[in-house]
């Protein structure tokens, strides 16, 4: 079929070592249109895994995973928890990879972070790395904020302060804003 021909072409394009263009935004956007239009979902997970093995920081592959999961499952809490588990394993390979943490955040959307006990259990270990991943620390602060008690909010404020002064100084204004917003919860 025409759709399968497009997928074959895109597979070759995205995996070509010569082209080295596995993050091409236009190719991925076209791929999503082809996959959705011709219902060619089969094999997408394999390609994503292959590309992430080559480059765990390939945000386009992470985005494609979210696209596939959100279009082929009911996005139930069980599915989301499974995906967070998968992403935490990938995050271990490159803890400062924003793509992994963004994917985790996307999977947690519309749920309490506490609904993800594996994340709650593992987040401290990730945050104790040197340097700690900024996105991981932000998730930890958000977990504290969900508790809504003064001691937890104070812990979140400390994290935001640390992010802005020590860890992620380039975005210090963002962390100052997060701290200000969180302090309104007290």
pLDDT in tens, the chain (186 residues): 899 999 999 999 999 888 888 999 999 999 999 999 999 999 999 999 999 999 999 999 999 999 999 999 999 999 999 999 999 999 999 999 999 999 999 999 989 888 999 998 899 999 999 889 999 999 999 999 999 999 999 999 999 999 999 999 999 999 999 999 999 987
What pLDDT is attached to residue 186?
73
pTM of the model: 0.90
Q: Which tokens is 111 given? A: 């749920």
Q: Is the dihedral of CA 130, 135, 138, 144 positive or negative?
A: negative
Contact 84, 53 (CB under 8 A): no
Contact 91, 97 (CB under 8 A): yes
What pLDDT is attached to residue 155?
97
What pLDDT is attached to residue 95?
92
Residue holding tokens 């920081």?
A: 57
Number of residues in the chain: 186
Contact 185, 145 (CB under 8 A): yes
Checking 32-35 for CB contacts under 8 A at 24+ apart, the result is: 32/64, 32/67, 34/3, 34/6, 34/7, 34/10, 35/7, 35/67, 35/68
């Amino acid at each position: 079929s025409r759709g399968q021909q497009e997928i074959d072409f895109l597979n070759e394009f995205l995996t070509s070592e010569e082209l080295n263009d596995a993050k091409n935004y236009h190719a991925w956007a076209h791929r999503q249109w082809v996959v959705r239009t011709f219902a060619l979902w089969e094999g997408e997970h394999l390609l994503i895994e292959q590309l992430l093995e080559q480059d765990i920081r390939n945000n386009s592959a992470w985005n494609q995973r979210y696209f596939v999961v959100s279009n082929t499952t009911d996005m139930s809490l069980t599915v989301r928890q499974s995906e967070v588990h998968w992403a935490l394993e990938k995050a271990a390979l490159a803890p400062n990879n924003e793509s992994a943490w963004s994917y985790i955040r996307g999977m947690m959307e519309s749920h309490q972070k506490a609904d993800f006990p594996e994340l709650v259990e593992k987040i401290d270990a990730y945050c104790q790395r040197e340097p700690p991943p900024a996105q991981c620390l932000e998730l930890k602060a958000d977990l504290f904020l969900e508790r809504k008690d003064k001691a937890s909010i104070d812990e979140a404020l400390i994290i935001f302060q640390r992010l802005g002064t020590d860890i992620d100084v380039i975005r210090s204004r963002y962390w100052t804003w997060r701290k200000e917003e969180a302090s309104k919860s007290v």
